[in-house]
Amino acid sequence: MKKGLIFTWLMLVVAYAFAQEQEQKTDGWVIQGFLDGNYKADKVYLVEEEYINGPSKIIDSAKVVDNRYEFKGPRVDVPKMYFIKSADPNCISPITPVFIENGVIRVRANADFFLNREVSGTVNNDLFSLYNAATEYGVDSIRRVFVIDRMIHPDKDWETQTKEYNARTDFLNSRNLSVQKNMVETYKDQVFAPFMIYWEMKANLSLDELKAWRQKIDPKLNNHPYTKQLDEYIRLADFGVGSVMPNFTLKTPDGKDISLKDFKGKYVLVDFWASWCGPCLREMPNVVKLYKECKGKNFEIFGVSLDNKKDAWEKAIKANGMKWPQGSDLKGWGSEPARLCNVSAIPFTVLIDPEGEVIAIDLRGEQLHAKVKEVLGKK
């Protein structure tokens, strides 16, 4: 019953929103902005995010005259989220999220609080504004319940207040997730869908649930950057024993290319380490011992360094007697193999079979020795 009421409410608001604001046609996209209040700067910035919650950069600026500004650009193939940023260093919340998509986009924000805004005029902006309105309605309703309850029962003990606060929070989170699901289900052919699943829903769904919601996205969006980012998130979350190890190519200390696929047909221990990592260096004598005992035509170790200084990397290889193949892109934690294998701490090992399937993860010490010797049939 609750979900049905939420869905009905959403449909009524959608109908009203689209009746009130028909999308204007233009050759490309235009952002027409207006700031309420006393804006204490003479321009605003347009900020591009590399991916959802990724690195960002300013790509354009616009003068603010009589509290108005405008950005414009050529037609875009796919809508993406950008941000309008305040040039006022004292702005409390300095960014306004905006989907850049073809059409006239109208933005109205508070000069001192850019996040308090209205964005409309194109499909994904209207959908995002609708979602924000729905969540704000829920927060306001819960706040009113709290105020009324305090008026009627002012002497509740702290334990009861805490219990009721947690119950209200759980209810609000459940309600918001219902709103998100309803909107994604209804607008699965819009960029809003993969954006919402990644930006909001993924933290509140199990991996199996997340996979099911990914399948609801219209196939025409399979190549959109947000859908690809969601796919990559699922792949990383699902990475483990039984996964197919992704290939990658690095540089050896002497500058030659080395790829994981070079070792196809062998059992390979991919060893993530770095010269600056104390635990890695303390574990290294154990890896050296393993290599001496098990090296041969059916087993290899591929060292992947998360160093960013070549000299330190090379010195550590020599000082620790690491005779096996080594590679690095010298990007530290930004290393591509580390991202592909969802590495969050080192030392970290991945043992793969001759077909490239992962058979063990994050083993070290005697456990590592025992597993390698087991798969090699050694005693």
What pTM was computed for the model?
Answer: 0.71
> In sequence order, what are the beta bridge partners of 57?
48
Letter string b/e over residues 70-89, b meaning 16 or more CB atoms within 10 A of that residue's CB: ebeeeeeeebbbbbbbbbbe
Alpha helices per DSSP H over the chain: 2-20, 123-152, 158-186, 192-199, 207-214, 225-237, 278-294, 310-319, 336-340, 365-376
Report pLDDT for 54.
84
Together in a domain, 188 and 95:
no
| Rounded Cα gap, residues 192 and 184, in angstroms | 7
In a domain, 3, yes or no: no
Q: Is 14 exposed, middle or buried (0-12, 13-18, 19+ CB in 10 A)?
A: middle
Backbone angles phi, psi at 69, to 5 degrees: -150, 165
Phi, psi of 364 (to 5 degrees): -155, 170
Query: Would you state the pLDDT for residue 286?
Result: 95
**What is the total residue count of the chain?**
379
Range of the domain at 372: 249-376
> What average pLDDT values come out for the chain (379 residues) when binned by 10 residues?
51 50 68 96 96 91 97 96 96 94 96 90 96 84 80 82 80 87 96 96 92 97 96 88 93 95 95 96 96 90 96 96 96 90 92 95 93 83
Residues 189 and 255 in one domain: no
93/169 same-domain check: no
Cβ-based burial of 290 (10 A; exposed 0-12, middle 13-18, buried ≥19): buried
Kind of pairing, strands 299-305 and 267-273? parallel
C-alpha span between 196 and 129 (Å, rounded): 12
Tell me the CA distances in angstroms from 94 to 57, 236, 296, 299, 349, one per residue in order. Answer: 14, 32, 59, 55, 42
300 touches 325 (CB < 8 A): yes
Are residue 116 and residue 148 in the same domain, yes or no?
Answer: no
Tell me the pairing of strands 299-305 and 326-327.
parallel
Same domain, 255 and 369: yes
Tokens of 225: 């950057």
Does 139 reside within a domain?
yes
Number of domains making up the chain: 3
Report the pLDDT value the prediction gives residue 20, as an integer from 0 to 100.
Answer: 46
Can the peptide bond before residue 347 be classed as cis, meaning omega within 30 degrees of 0? Answer: yes
Which pLDDT does position 305 carry in this prediction? 97
278 in the same domain as 233: no
